[in-house]
Each structure stands twice: as C-alpha cells, then as structure tokens.
C-alpha cells in the first residue's frame, strides 16, 4: 500500500527563533517550537517514487507573511489551527513541479503556502494579530512518507 509523499521546507535557525519570539510576545497558545516551524510544499496521497528534494537550499527561499487564517483538521474539529499565509512564488512553483514531474496529488483546488503557528490556539481574533513584517528564510527541504493518520 502506498503511503503517499510529504515534502516540507524548514526555516533557518535565526529566522525560526525570530518568528517564535514575535508570536510569543503576542501570547499565542500552544505555539509551535522554533525547530519544528516549517512550510508544507507537498502532501500527496500518491507515493512519489525517487522524489528529489533539495536538502540544503541554495539559494535559500524567502517569504513574507501575507495574512492569517484559522483552519480545522478534520474540518469539523473544534481546535483552531492558526496558520500564517505566505507570499512566496518559489514555494508555489516547487509544489507545481512536484505535481507535474512526480504526478503528485493535492487535496485542494489551490496550493496555499503557509506556516502553521499553532495546532490549538484557542479563540483569538486574527484581525488584531499584527503581521510578522520580517522575511522568513527557508533553508532546507526534505521528503518523507506521508503520515496518513494526520
């Protein structure tokens, strides 16, 4: 049975620490630790054999936080997942390359580059949360079998 394929990019240590520090100051519940901050590039329910990921990304990929959204997984869940929507054409391009070259699947109509900040943030008014106005720097890309329990 195919496990599917997951690809993500991780932040430079300095960038991750700055992101964590910023959101800690705004009292976000259950904030994801700096070493776990990432952006999902691919969540394919089809296994992508021999997928090639970059490892250390040269040059790095830069993104800006565009806005926030509350997501739920599963959709009927009561947990509020706080995500920062990223403005990053490079991640969109990378996602599309994986779909074309490896025949990867995607569960949604559109890929939205994002960085999850909390999987259970409680009730917060995201319209009052200031945007992180520094560049987010991604430096490492990896792939692994998809965890279908997610």
Q: Name the band, by pLDDT with cuts 50, 70 and 90, for residue 6.
A: very high
| Active site (annotated) includes residue 116 | yes
Mean pLDDT of 1-25: 92
Mean pLDDT of 8-34: 97
Which residue from 102, 115, 109 is spatially nearest to 41, judged by alpha carbons?
115
The model's pTM is: 0.91
The CATH superfamily label for domain 5-145 reads Cyclic phosphodiesterase (3.90.1140.10)
Question: In this structure, are residues 40 and 8 in contact, taking their beta carbons and an 8 Å threshold?
Answer: yes
- Of the residues 5, 10, 38, 95, only one is catalytic, namely 38
pLDDT, the chain, mean: 92
38 is catalytic: yes
Catalytic residue among 5, 53, 95, 114: 114
Under 8 Å CB-to-CB from 85, ≥6 apart: which residues?
A: 65, 66, 67, 68, 69, 112, 113, 114
pLDDT score recorded for residue 30 = 95
Residue 77 scores a pLDDT above 90:
no
Residue-wise pLDDT tens digits, 89-109: 999 999 999 999 999 988 878
DSSP 58-75: EEEEEEEEEEEEEE-SST
Task: Parse the chain into domains and list their residue ranges.
Answer: 5-145
């Amino acid at each position: 049975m195919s496990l599917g394929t997951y690809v993500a990019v991780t932040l430079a240590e300095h960038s991750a620490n700055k992101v964590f520090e910023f959101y800690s100051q705004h009292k976000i519940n259950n904030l994801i630790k700096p070493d776990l901050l990432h952006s999902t590039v691919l969540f394919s329910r089809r296994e992508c054999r021999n997928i090639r990921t970059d490892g250390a990304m040269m040059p790095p990929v830069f993104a800006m936080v565009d806005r926030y959204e509350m997501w739920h997984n599963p959709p009927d869940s009561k947990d509020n997942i706080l995500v920062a929507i990223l403005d990053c054409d490079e991640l969109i391009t990378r996602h599309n390359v994986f779909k074309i070259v490896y025949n990867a699947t995607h569960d949604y109509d559109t890929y939205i580059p994002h960085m999850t900040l909390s999987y259970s943030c409680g009730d917060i008014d995201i319209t009052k949360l200031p945007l992180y106005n520094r560049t987010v720097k991604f430096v490492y890309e990896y792939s692994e079998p998809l965890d279908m329990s997610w």
